[in-house]
Amino acid sequence: MQNATLDSNIYISALEFGGVGQRFLALARAQKLRIDTCHTILDELFGVLRDKFKWDSYRLRFARSELEKLVNIVTPQQSFHVVGDPDDNKIIECAVEAESDCIVTRDDHLLKLKVFQGIPIITPEEFLKER
């Protein structure tokens, strides 16, 4: 089974728009993909859903509870300052801690790196093309 760290924009695609991110959740439900994450990524995700998309507290709690059942949660032990945005660095820290096979994102700052410590950084379409 392959494992991947997803940027929060992939989760937002799945949870708010029903976009390509839904395919990642479906792969995880089918136990064909282990999704690696950490509480910092989940906090960012649900903060965006609350603030930008106006999710109410019930919907936030329910979605977080369901998502936490589906993902592998790690606690990063190392800090990296690779890109200017601390939220982007948290994605890298999570992937390194979880020993993810790849990072999946649409973030240009991360995509420009292409690879970090042997972990490829790719778009959702690149990941899904391989499956």
What H or E segment, with its residue span, contains residue 41? Answer: helix 39-51
Residue 50: pLDDT band by 50, 70, 90 thresholds? very high
Q: Token pair 């649900």 is at which residue? A: 46
Token pair 């939220």 is found at 87
3 state DSSP class of 125: helix
pLDDT band at 109 (very low <50, low <70, confident <90, very high): very high
121 pLDDT more than 90: yes
| Mean pLDDT of the chain, nearest integer | 96
The band of 57, judged by pLDDT with boundaries at 50, 70 and 90, is: very high
85-105: per-residue pLDDT in tens?
888 999 999 999 999 999 999
Q: What global pTM score does this model have?
A: 0.95
Q: Which long-range contacts (CB under 8 A, 24 or more apart) does 116-124 make?
A: 116/80, 116/82, 116/92, 119/95, 124/10, 124/13, 124/20, 124/21, 124/23, 124/24
Report pLDDT for 130.
73
Q: What are the two backbone dihedrals, phi and then psi, of residue 31, each rounded to the nearest 5 degrees? A: 55, 35
